[in-house]
Chain A
Amino acid sequence: MSNRLAVLLLGAVLAADAQTLSRKIDLPKDSPVSLVSADWGESSATPRGGAYMVDVHAGLSLRNSSQRRIRGVTLSVLAQEVTPGGKGSVSVPSLDVAPGDTFPVRIDLPLLRPLGAGSGPLVEVQLDGVLFDDLSFYGPDKLHSRRTMTVWELEARRDRRYFKTLLEQAGREGLQKEMLESLARQADRPQPGVQMVRGRATNTDIEREVQFAFLRFPESPAEPTDGMARIAGNEARAPRLEVRNRSDREIRHLEIGWIVRDQQGRDFLAASLPADLNLAPGHSSQILQDAALRFPGRTSIEGMTGFVSSVEFADGSYWIPTRASLDDPQLRRVVAPSPEEQRLVQMYRRKGVDALIEELKKF
């Protein structure tokens, strides 16, 4: 009798590792995109400690059911909205989807869901936002996808304009040369591992304060004036920056790029520091982030540089750096190109310069 009980209990322990994942796709009735098909592939949920590790792999096909061209879409993917690690998103920028056309969205995400939350593992896909070619937006925007997708679209327009100008001035060869240089920069761009945790420091080494240096763009509406972060061993935390609004419009949000230099003099983009503000013209404000970044093994942080990467004004307009500003040697080495530049470079690599020229002529 006791042997049978042991076998049953062991079976229950083993069976607990294989969980059926419930799935749900929730699009509003007036959504400008509609679901054509969904393939959930090998999505699964595995209990680990006090939570499910939910591994989402899905391929969706969506249709533009609006009357405008779609430039970008963001879907939120939720295993548990209020749990840290329970929320993810998938964005597709640089789209050009005509009314009635379909387009694919690939979802590959790891998420967490507490074991006690609801009846079992569940993943829910919702529409967070759709950006149209006139920069109008539809969606609940819980993940601030309007801002993110608008910046991507502005960067896309800037970069297409730059390549078109280059094509006009330097011809096919000039465009080809620029594409090859972009490919080389992307291959050489350093990408060391970074771990980020909110609100906790886990290093027991003695801390020291390190000052930020700044890259200042002449046309930038916001100017960083001072900044520091606490450094202990291979960990940097609690960055604090002072910024001044030197434009004539109120700033609602800005984002600062955080470049770190290690003991061997190598620079890399460690993180971005977004901040919501109500910064009136001529005024200054402090940006604080309760976050800690940890770098690999024996990395020692010797210096830090900050630069303003985007600004959103209270009137809903945006500022992004020009191509000329981004031509700074330090920035060119560490900052990733825009999604649109990466798309165009990939198109050149796969299809050649003629296909690229045809693509540039579309806009």
Chain B
Amino acid sequence: MKRHVAETDLALFASRDLSLWKRALVGMHVRGCGRCRELAEVYRSDRSELSDVTADLPEGLDWDRLSAEMTANIRVGLAAGECVAPRSRRIAALGWRPAAVIAGISVLMAAGWWLNMPPAQTQALGRAMRSIWRGRPALVDERGPMVAVSASGIELRENGSALGVSQGPARPIAVSVSAQGSASARYVDADTGQITITSVYVQ
């Protein structure tokens, strides 16, 4: 029993749209098969007629109106699509790494501040921030080095940090302040009895 070529292949053969190899196979079959040759001829003549008909545009065609209708149809289609399946915005998710880096830097900065910044400076910064928040000027604050004397000796103070003079367990036998900007402490050596006078200058 001889098999015929599929009609879709015959239609494509008639319009020369088959691949080269398949066109040769179908062509050999069509030459030897009267039914298929007849069908191929039918497709070929239909194609020729359709081509003649579409060569002429319909009378009274309004291109502007056609364009407007097409635009309207596209918009209607989009609106309908929005109604049926509303589009959700996708938010890019942040990974944990940037958060970990920011947290690490924050801890490092806090540790650095805690280790290096005197409490008085932190308090002064707090006061300044509060005065900015309230819109009022800050009170006059201590700045610059200061010397302090007491029965326990001399102390040099700077921005809230303090460093004292000490000679081990010995306490000074006298302390004094000069208004020209110095403080002195007098010590006596327990072994030799030698007097040593230590002075610090802030001027």
Contacts and interface: CB of A to CB of B under 8 A. Distances in A.
Contact of B179 (A14, A16, A273, A337): A273
B164 A90 contact: no
A3 B117 CA distance: 25
Interface string A94-114: 110000000111111111100
A258 B179 CA distance: 10
Contacts of B112: 13
Given A13-B115, A88-B201, A90-B198, A110 B139 contact: no
B167 A108 contact: yes
A200 interface: yes
Given A10-B108, A342-B188, A2 B97 contact: yes
B32 to A, nearest CB: 76
A13 B111 contact: yes
Contact of B142 (A108, A197, A270): A197
A3 B149 contact: no
Interface string A61-100: 0000000000000000000000011011111111100000
B124 to A, nearest CB: 11
B187 to A, nearest CB: 8
A85 B143 CA distance: 13
Nearest to B201: A87
Nearest to A344: B193
B173 A186 contact: yes
A338 B154 CA distance: 19
Interface in B129-149: 139-149
A196 B181 contact: yes
Nearest to A6: B104
Interface string A237-270: 0010000000000000000001000000000011
Interface in A20-66: 47-51, 53, 55
A202 B159 contact: no
Contacts of B39: none
B54 interface: no
Contacts of B158: 48-49, 51, 53, 85, 112
Nearest to A202: B142
A343 B203 CA distance: 30
Contact of B202 (A95, A107, A197): A197
Contacts of A91: 196-199
B182 to A, nearest CB: 8
A195 B192 CA distance: 31
A274 B8 CA distance: 121
Interface residues of A, number: 71
B200 interface: yes
Contacts of B199: 88-91, 143
A99 B7 CA distance: 133
Contacts of A3: 104
Contacts of B101: 2
Contacts of A50: 159
B16 to A, nearest CB: 64
Contacts of B121: 49
B128 interface: no
B163 interface: yes
Contacts of A110: 154-156, 163-165, 200
Contacts of B10: none
A326 interface: no
A270 B177 contact: yes
Contact of B115 (A5, A14, A107, A337): A14
A197 B155 CA distance: 12
Contacts of A161: none
B104 A92 contact: no
Given A48-B158, A289-B179, A109 B200 contact: yes
B202 A84 contact: yes
B197 A339 contact: yes
Contacts of B190: 350
A103 B195 CA distance: 12
Nearest to B188: A346
Contacts of B97: 2
Given A191-B175, A196-B148, A343-B193, A108 B186 contact: no
24 contacts: A9-B108, A48-B118, A49-B161, A51-B158, A89-B199, A89-B201, A93-B195, A106-B167, A109-B200, A110-B163, A191-B150, A192-B150, A196-B177, A197-B142, A197-B145, A198-B203, A201-B140, A202-B141, A239-B179, A272-B176, A272-B178, A291-B179, A336-B176, A343-B195
- Top 10 closest pairs, chain A to chain B, by CB: A110-B163, A85-B145, A193-B150, A336-B174, A6-B104, A291-B179, A289-B179, A271-B177, A195-B148, A91-B197
Given A108-B166, A109-B165, A342-B188, 16 more contacts: A2-B104, A13-B116, A47-B116, A49-B118, A49-B121, A90-B197, A109-B200, A110-B155, A111-B156, A191-B174, A197-B202, A198-B203, A202-B142, A271-B176, A291-B180, A350-B193
